[in-house]
């Protein structure tokens, strides 16, 4: 899911655009103000925008009148179409606020009930009692959301209501090409409605993201394979600011370990929850922190802890705003233009590091060292190990710990040094320490770009195409976008072309015709060798037939490994039977190698890497093995590793990226390509 690797930027449009607090009925294209901010957002590095309510409403947006019409205070649907197109052209996805729990008193169906009472065909769309009366003297009582009777609660157990709302979602996707929804008060929504919504949007747009607003409770109840992809992590929101205010980092360390730690009882491991330091409903972080110096380590923690970071507009330059007892106007101001400062530059740097880091986006979490005012935690994947060191104190601190060993690169300070059991932590600082820095040249482009912006000349040694993730230092400077080049998939696999299509990457298929050869027996080496050979073969042909044209070649290959041995296609039924028997009640590995060759019309860049996923298989009876062998799949797919075929019913679990097993780790490819081209 793309959202798991994104940085979100949240805007409350009615306030941001300077619209009247109450709907005055005047159509003014204020939403077009976002067109003036797209370059700023792109430069900041955010790749997703979350817009709070934009549809026609009585007042604040959560009291909807019409789900199919942009609020007249913001403009017309055509205005918003243009805004979405501009954001997408800058590589920024669009997520809207889905307000499905309630509507405003001006909602067309509720107005019909007010007029016709019992005779209204929409009376069962709401929770109504005609034996009572409302505070507005409607001649009937109705349920309002949590006692707010300007918000009329919808009956989500009524199929007609669900069908109407889903039809509106389809209209938003078809008209505006939105990429996801934030579900308002998801903790109040009917679970069957959320299941139906997930199934519905997946059928229209498979990578459509659903993120719920949840304030309390067990997030697993709604964040799962059947309902939502993510939800707001209010537990860690509170832990972030109060840990620094109370100078007690044990609080946030406990919350993070409780949610994502290595112990089996930790409750949200493998999930990506939306993290934030403020939003449109709570006091801004610059107003709630007791010490303004803590803004830097707070944002440093936000960008390195597990989750999907979301920045609230204006807070990236330290804007203040206090929540009032009776309204949120101070939290939702209008700014004439962005006001970036040193804090903004710091956050921009953090975003760059996070977007390039496998460990920060996907890694496990483990507390290494905790004091009241210092915290060191680890983020780790198979490819990368990072220590994040936080000092909340206003004085320098020297940490002593047995795990502080080895050569590291501090991304924040752009320094390299060797730890020998100690680490010096500067006041109010966050250090992002990457182990084995020579294996991670991807961060070089960040520091070089900063140097160029400051007018400094720096010599950053770039690794060649033969090294891990070859990343040319000038990659960030390209002006080419995805639309400027032809993407060539060097594989005839229908699964791979389906994944590229779902990701919105137009491409042509030109299968390689090279003679494959390998020099290693290690599966991670084999898939990279084969992927590189395929990509090079297709690249040579394309360069000869389309000289001077920019293009990108994607070569890929997949193998299965069991106990370190690569499984090939069996040559006989007996060999196939033995292979299947070796997989059952056991975990085996699927490796996919990818080789990317980018030609901009003059120069060429190459990047080759691999991804691994584990597949856990149920025990199979002899009858089940014989039945599977009869399908013919084992002779074509080395056991179908093979979850897309008949073998799927024997798969107990998958650990890693499903797309790796299908044959194309699309999320990793996207992250790598962002170093070279604009999306």
What CA–CA distance (Å, rounded) separates 532 from 659? 19
Q: Is 557 marked active-site?
A: yes
Instruction: Name, in order, each residue with C-beta under 8 angstroms of 342's C-beta and a sequence gap of 6 or more.
Output: none
Q: In 3-state terms, the chain is what percent helix, strand and coil (to 5)? A: 35, 25, 40
Beta strand 587-599 with 604-617 is antiparallel
Bridge partner residues of 555 (DSSP): 595
Nearest to 467 by CA among 498, 431, 503, 440: 440
Instruction: Name, in order, each residue with C-beta under 8 angstroms of 129's C-beta and a sequence gap of 6 or more.
Output: 140, 141, 142
DSSP-derived secondary structure letter, 267: S
Q: How many beta carbons lie within 10 A of that of residue 237, not counting itself?
A: 21
What is residue 231's three-state secondary structure?
Answer: strand
Given 97, 410, 557, 600, the catalytic residue: 557
Q: What number of helices (H) and strands (E) belong to the chain?
A: 20, 28
Residue 573 parent element (H or E)? helix 573-583
In this structure, what are the phi and psi dihedrals at residue 426, rounded to the nearest 5 degrees?
-75, 160
SS (H, E, C) 484-534: HCEEEECCCCHHHHHHHHHCCCCCEECCCCCCCCCCCCCHHHHHHHHHHHH
Q: How many beta carbons lie within 10 A of that of residue 630, not counting itself?
A: 11
* Entry field: residues in the chain: 679
What CA–CA distance (Å, rounded) separates 409 from 418? 9
Cβ-in-10-Å burial (0-12, 13-18, 19+) of 653 comes to exposed
Are the beta carbons of 425 and 391 closer than 8 angstroms? yes
Instruction: Name, in order, each residue with C-beta under 8 angstroms of 392's C-beta and a sequence gap of 6 or more.
Output: 243, 244, 247, 249, 294, 297, 373, 374, 375, 428
Active site residues: 557
């Amino acid at each position: 899911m793309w959202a798991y690797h994104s940085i979100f930027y949240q805007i409350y449009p009615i306030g941001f655009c300077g619209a009247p607090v109450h709907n005055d009925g005047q159509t003014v294209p204020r939403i077009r103000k976002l067109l003036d901010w797209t370059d700023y957002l792109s430069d900041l590095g955010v790749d997703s925008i979350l817009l709070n309510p934009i549809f026609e409403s009585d007042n604040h947006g959560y009291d909807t009148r019409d789900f199919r019409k942009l609020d007249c205070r913001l403009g017309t649907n055509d205005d918003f179409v243009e805004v979405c197109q501009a954001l997408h052209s800058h590589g920024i996805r669009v997520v809207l606020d889905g307000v499905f729990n309630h509507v405003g008193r001006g909602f067309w169906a509720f107005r019909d009930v007010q007029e016709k009472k019992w005779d209204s065909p929409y009376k069962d769309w709401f929770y109504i009692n005609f034996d009572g009366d409302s505070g507005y003297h409607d001649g009937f009582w109705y349920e309002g959301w949590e006692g707010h009777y300007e918000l009329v609660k919808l009956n989500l157990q009524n199929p007609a209501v669900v069908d109407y709302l889903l039809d509106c979602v389809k209209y938003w996707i078809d008209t505006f090409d939105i990429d996801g929804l934030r579900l308002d008060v998801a903790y109040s929504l009917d679970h069957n409605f959320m299941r139906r919504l997930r199934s519905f949007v997946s059928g229209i747009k498979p990578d459509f993201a659903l993120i719920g607003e949840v304030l309390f409770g067990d997030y697993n109840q709604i964040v799962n394979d059947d309902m939502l992809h993510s939800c707001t992590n209010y537990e860690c929101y509170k832990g972030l600011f109060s840990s620094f205010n109370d100078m007690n980092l044990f609080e946030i360390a406990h919350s993070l370990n409780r949610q994502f730690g290595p112990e089996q009882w930790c409750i949200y491991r493998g999930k990506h929850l939306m993290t934030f330091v403020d939003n449109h409903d709570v006091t801004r972080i610059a107003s709630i922190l007791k010490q303004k110096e803590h803004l830097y380590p707070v944002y440093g923690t936000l960008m390195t802890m597990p989750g999907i970071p979301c920045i609230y507009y204006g807070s990236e330059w330290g804007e203040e705003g206090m929540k009032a007892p009776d309204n949120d106007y101070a939290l939702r101001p209008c700014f004439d233009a962005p006001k970036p400062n040193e804090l903004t530059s710091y956050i921009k740097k953090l975003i760059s590091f996070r977007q390039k880091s496998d460990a920060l986006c996907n890694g496990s979490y483990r507390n290494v060292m905790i004091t009241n005012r210092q915290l060191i935690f680890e983020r780790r994947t198979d490819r990368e190990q990072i220590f994040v060191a936080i000092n909340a104190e206003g004085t320098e601190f020297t940490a002593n710990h047995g795990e502080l060993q080895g050569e590291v690169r501090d991304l924040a300070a752009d320094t390299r040094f060797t730890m020998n059991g100690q680490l010096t932590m500067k006041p109010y600082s966050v250090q992002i320490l990457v182990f084995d820095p020579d294996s991670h040249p991807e961060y070089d482009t960040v520091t070089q770009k900063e140097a160029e912006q400051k007018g400094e000349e720096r010599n950053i040694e770039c690794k060649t195409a033969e090294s891990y993730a070859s990343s040319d230092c000038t990659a960030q400077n390209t002006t080419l976008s995805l639309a400027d080049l032809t993407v060539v998939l060097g594989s005839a696999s229908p699964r791979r072309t389906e994944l590229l299509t779902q990701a919105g990457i137009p491409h042509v298929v030109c299968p390689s015709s090279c003679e494959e050869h390998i020099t290693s027996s290690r599966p991670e080496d084999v898939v990279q060798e084969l992927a590189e050979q395929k990509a090079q073969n297709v690249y040579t042909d394309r360069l000869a037939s389309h000289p001077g044209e920019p293009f990108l070649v994607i070569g890929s290959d997949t193998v299965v490994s069991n106990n370190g041995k690569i499984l090939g296609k069996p040559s006989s039924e007996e060999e196939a039977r033995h292979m299947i028997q070796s997989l059952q009640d056991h975990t085996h590995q699927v490796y996919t190698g990818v080789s990317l060759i980018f030609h901009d019309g003059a120069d060429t860049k190459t990047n080759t890497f691999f991804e691994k996923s584990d597949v856990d298989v149920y025990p199979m009876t002899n009858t089940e093995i014989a039945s599977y062998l009869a399908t013919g799949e084992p002779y074509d797919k080395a056991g179908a590793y093979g979850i897309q075929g008949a073998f799927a019913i024997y798969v107990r679990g998958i650990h890693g990226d499903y797309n790796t097993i299908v044959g194309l780790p699309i999320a990793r490819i996207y992250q790598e390509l962002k170093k070279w081209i604009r999306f």
